[in-house]
A = this chain, B = another copy of it.
């Protein structure tokens, strides 16, 4: 069973002239596969389309990605599907070819061996020294320029720490290296606004949508380290982990609160309903 398709072919390589490699000129999506099907497919496709549009990459063919995704998934029930779209091969220099031939990479990965305690008891995190640069023109996009996350992830080696939290260069809390972050303070849910930097996660959008449906109070706003220190509950989320309560940011402890637990339950119902469709 293949593990990688490049432009529909069972190849595990791209040309050294690929602009994804040379400039990070591309975007990606990481999807949970459950019961043999990619979860939140249409949300991922919408985000992929708008990212490609912003970069001028042309609209990827979602039906083709679906077919290729299913062929890679095969009879796997639980897995991770990664989709990468680059501007494809080009000559030397930043100028893109006049008629780019984007490269389409699909990879299937084993489902990560997440401990159940992450869901139940929460995770320990650390506040990273590496900051995120602010740039509204690329903010929100899940593009291939991810050195800041790589550098942040290099900061800790302690396997009991599951995530690193990142501030931007202005000192505002933005996200985890691989997740979005939410705080609950005096009953109000809040998450950093991502107009300056950060990745606008699919799970973040689901949590906000669910909060709206449930008429929970929530705010998308600038969040400082002080706000983080004073929060009653903290959790992180992404497409693979769902919601993980944060039980520690370095030396400061947090307890899993009722809002986090409620959102975990609602998110699980939401995911189950979508898988069943």
Contact = CB atoms under 8 A, between A and B. Distances in A.
A224 to B, nearest CB: 19
A147 B151 contact: no
Nearest to A149: B94
Interface stretch (A41-49, A128-136, A184-192, A211-219): A128-136
Contacts of A146: 22-25, 94, 145
Given A94-B146, A154-B96, A177-B94, A12 B22 contact: no
Nearest to A18: B21
A105 B16 contact: yes
Nearest to A82: B92
Contacts of A95: 153
Contacts of A266: none
B24 A147 contact: yes
A72 to B, nearest CB: 12
Given A24-B23, A145-B145, A146-B24, A153 B96 contact: yes
A138 B148 contact: yes
Interface in A62-121: 80, 82, 84, 86-87, 91-96, 105, 107, 109, 112
A206 to B, nearest CB: 21
A204 interface: no
Nearest to A177: B94
Given A22-B144, A23-B147, A94-B178, A154 B56 contact: yes
A135 B148 contact: yes
A21 to B, nearest CB: 4
Contact of A145 (B82, B109, B147): B147
B22 A28 contact: yes
6 contacts: A14-B21, A91-B109, A135-B148, A136-B169, A137-B151, A145-B147
